[in-house]
Amino acid sequence: MANNSPKCEAGLPPWLATFADLMSLLLAFFVLLLSFAEIDAIRFQKMAESMKDAFGVQREVPVPDIVMGTSVIKQEFSPSINPDPAIIDEIRQQTTEVEQQHLEVPDGVVDAVIEAERERILEEVARQAEEIREALKLEIEESLVSVETEYTKIIIRINEKGSFPSGSAELNDDFYGVMVRISEAVARTPGNVVVAGHTDDVPISTNRFRSNWELSSARAVTVVHALLDDPNIDPKRIAVEGHADSAPLVPNDSRENRAINRRVELVIQRGEDRERDVLELAR
């Protein structure tokens, strides 16, 4: 009975060639579909986040790392007469616009952040000035020094009374104790320090000082040397200025007023660096 069954012809059956052609055409068709497809990067990211929430196996994608989807085949080629931007350019453009929307901060928000930082700095300045006043309470009561605030500045004003002899840039011996307490207060207070010397309008001309400019500068330098005796004060914080009689507190029209104008000021500046940092971050 087995000998009566039909025999198979040698080789592959004819229909297999047609089937192979069909599979090749289907593969080419799907490759073309993929090459012309546009991948929405934002939708892909949302889908990835949904998959992560649903299955808990999706890789965590940082917020700035927006998926840069591109086509597998089509990169920079466009066969039309008036070629449109290639898919990679479109995806990059869309992604960049989305990133800018997330990075751009409204001006009102920037102003609010800067104002909040400024208010915080002013509160710190007022608190630190009060701490300095408490530390120099005795000297303030004796009118040797005074402490004031001017916006984000703390001004420690050393009066000529008890600090310098008339026409001299040498500190009185009994004033060094006051300078120790001033140095301790400056060391505890952050910020850059400008030490500025001031005189009255009475001209001076001696063997050491040709003018009030030299006298005011020399007194400021003397105060700086006394400050730097404290190892906790960084010299990089310090700057020296001499103003002579160019910035009086009161008119030089009496002996009492001239005495007020003869002074050395330690100006501790707060807040400028931090406001600049806030602006840079906002940009």
Angle subtended at Cα 163 by Cα 162 and Cα 164, rounded to the nearest 5 degrees: 110
- 97 vs 239, more confident: 239
pLDDT at 243: 95
**Main-chain dihedrals φ then ψ at residue 155, nearest 5 degrees:** -110, 115
Q: Which helix (H) or strand (E) holds 269?
A: strand 263-269
pLDDT at 279 over 50: no
Q: In this predicted model, what pLDDT tens digit does every residue of 245-266 receive, in sequence order? A: 999 999 999 999 999 999 999 9
Identify which of 150, 138, 142, 208 has the alpha carbon closest to the alpha carbon of residue 180.
138
Residue 30, amino acid: F
Give me the pLDDT at residue 281, please: 45
Instruction: Please determine, for residue 47, whether its predicted confidence score (pLDDT) is greater than 80.
Output: no
What's the CA gap between 112 and 171, in Å, rounded?
Answer: 47
Confidence grade of residue 282 (pLDDT, cut at 50, 70, 90) = very low
Mean pLDDT within 101-109: 58
CA distance 183 to 233: 8
Query: pTM of the prediction?
Result: 0.57
Residue 267 has pLDDT above 60, yes or no: yes
Quick check: 168 pLDDT over 50? yes
* Average pLDDT, rounded, for the chain: 78
Q: How far is CA 68 from the centre of its chain?
A: 30
Q: Which domains does the chain have, with CATH numbers?
A: 14-103 (no CATH), 110-278 (3.30.1330.60)
